[in-house]
Amino acid sequence: MKLDAISHRDRNTKIVATLGPASSDPAMIRKLFDAGVDVFRLNFSHGTHADHQARYNAIRQIEGDVGRPVGILMDLQGPKLRLGKIVDGKLSLAIGQKLRLDLDPTPGTLTRVPLLHPEIFAAIKAGDDLLIDDGKVRLRVLSCSPTFADVEALNAGVISDRKGVNVPGAILPLSALTTKDREDLDFGLSIGIDWIALSFVQRPEDIAELKAIVGNRAWVMAKLEKPSAIESLEAIVAAADGVMVARGDLGVELPPEDVPVIQKRIVRACRQAGKPVIVATQMLESMISSPVPTRAEVSDVATAVYDGVDAVMLSAESASGSYPIEAVNMMDRILKSTELDPLQRIMMDAVHSHRKNDARDAISAAIRTVAETLPVAATVAYTSSGATTLRVAHERPRAPILSMTPVAAAARRLSLVWGVHSIQAADVDSAEEIVMRATQAADKHGFGKPGQALLIIAGTPFGVPGSTNLLRIAWIGDEPDAS
């Protein structure tokens, strides 16, 4: 990774963009980066390993060209619960119509339909609802056994082959990692993925299962899209390295009016725990086919910024839409405009991360006091694991954060974090060298002018994770004359 100068983006909230058929060409990926993308998402629900390898290579080429770490998030598909086959491919249900779901693979009829997932029958009970095809058809469980469920249609609709099934009222006895996920995970880790998003997390044990495989090779993100996950929210946030508010399935399994409340709760929990949080799904959905968003979508994105999220995400808008560049440009403009509003800082500061009784948290908290007394061009966090930078970022300081690390993987992971301009820098062995490199990097990357103050945070002994205990004030260029 080169260290050529590139100015930091003039905003704190990051943009995650999904790559797909509309954005697989290296030239298009470069345009997306130039438009404002900080982290690229590879969706392993679609595409082959060869497709993802090509996109990965293009991103790393951009990284080498611009001298700036670029994060890559792989999104695992997770378990997909689906109906079996139906005679003639589909059938229409009337309100109140009775139906049996069972483990018989014979194609379904008007009286019974295959549902080849014994884990569903093991978890449901009378009175639970099953949602078919993203909730288009809702079935109420009347009675059930380990091999079948008798259900009643609560609304008229059509069910067809292989449509998805959601079970909002139960914790299913299955792993969040399927065989496909494990194969994809092996591939992603082998090429150097930075973040791994785990779909359909139900409990903190799901995160622990993935982390046992990943180790320190990547950071793990919990996708919260199940009501059962919200019941264990604090434990899941504590177990994960980051969280994604995945509003697609969350909006299917919960009443729509509950989703904004749940989103606020998740963001607050992550902010308090000091964990990065992404808000995703349908942020600029209309821009899949339109060059401009709706006013409601713009407000939706701005709301996330007011709450102080680390990142917002584009899905189909950038992966398969007709206006991927325009969507990123629009997202960038919304973020910048919202962050300029003085009310945004007031609302964001209403939530603070919990502090521990240790040197790192004491120093991070002191940043606010120093910055209120002395105008600061930037806070420079020198880190090896990324923990120091994370702690600084979740204080949400007014000055931008320049994160310096000798570890390329840490630099890439931190590209997702609020307010952080992450660079890979040479290792150091003295406080004087840290000050010298920090002031040079701040000048090189456009964080201020000679004579402006920097706050520098690091740890001694150098290169030891968790040793943050140093706070220095320095100046870009020569220190000004005290007289």
Among all residues, which ones are annotated catalytic? 41, 82, 223, 281
Q: Scan for tokens 């591939």, then name that residue.
A: 187
Give the amino acid at 291: P
Q: Scan for tokens 């982290």, then name that residue.
A: 39
Q: Report the C-alpha gap between 334 and 339 in whole angstroms.
A: 9
CB-CB contact of 237 with 275 (8 Å)? yes
- The values of phi and psi at residue 436, to 5°, are -60, -50
Tokens of 244: 């994604």
Tokens of 289: 């086919």
Query: What per-residue string of b and e applies to 28-41 under the rule 16 or more CB within 10 Å gives b?
Result: bbbebbebbbbbbb
137-144 and 90-93 strand pairing: unpaired
Q: Scan for tokens 């997770």, then name that residue.
A: 78
Q: Scan for tokens 């954060």, then name that residue.
A: 401
Cα separations in angstroms, 135 against 99, 123, 251? 17, 19, 9
CB-CB contact of 31 with 56 (8 Å)? no
Strands (E), 431-476: 453-459, 468-475
Strands (E), 164-203: 165-166, 195-198
425 Cβ partners below 8 Å, 6+ apart? Answer: 3, 382, 404, 405, 406, 437, 441
User: Comparing C-alpha atoms, which of 247, 393, 217, 57 is closest to residue 40?
Assistant: 57
Q: Report the C-alpha gap between 358 and 407 in whole angstroms.
A: 24
